[in-house]
């Protein structure tokens, strides 16, 4: 069983479209995150939810809207996609045990053309 699963793995779309990326974790964790890794490989935190509540919202365009229907799911919806949104988006989750760290999904490679 995949601990943190993201769908789709690859997403190619045209500028101006709206798309969603889904994330699910089966670890029973309370906290989930979205990270963006750009072409230069920098990993940047975007959002964090704790038990369905938004607790971290970094400087991200409001075209990006996270949604957490329950603590096992954190989806990312992107409106009016732009070329600069092309990146790999990683979902992650974290439990309360400090020593176990974060568990990341395998990423969604978004390409906007």
Q: Which residues bind other proteins (CB under 8 A)?
A: 4, 31, 33, 35, 41-45, 48, 50, 55-56, 90, 92, 94-107
Comparing CB distances to other proteins, the nearer of 69 and 99 is 99
CB of 101 to other proteins, least distance (A): 3
CA distance 32 to 54: 10
Comparing CB distances to other proteins, the nearer of 79 and 104 is 104
Contact assessment for residue 66 and residue 78, using Cβ atoms and an 8 Å cutoff: no
Contact assessment for residue 75 and residue 60, using Cβ atoms and an 8 Å cutoff: no
CB of 21 to other proteins, least distance (A): 13
Contact assessment for residue 109 and residue 21, using Cβ atoms and an 8 Å cutoff: no
């Amino acid at each position: 069983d995949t601990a943190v699963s993201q769908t789709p793995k690859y997403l190619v779309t045209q500028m101006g479209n709206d798309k969603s990326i889904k994330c699910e974790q089966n670890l029973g964790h309370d906290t989930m995150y979205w990270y963006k890794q750009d072409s230069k490989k920098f990993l940047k935190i975007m959002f964090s939810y704790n038990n369905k509540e938004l607790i971290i919202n970094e400087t991200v365009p409001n075209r990006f809207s996270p949604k957490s229907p329950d603590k096992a799911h954190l989806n990312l919806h992107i409106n009016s996609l732009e070329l600069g949104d092309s990146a790999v988006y990683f979902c992650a989750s974290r439990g309360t045990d400090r020593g176990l760290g974060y568990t990341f999904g395998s990423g969604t490679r978004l390409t906007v053309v």
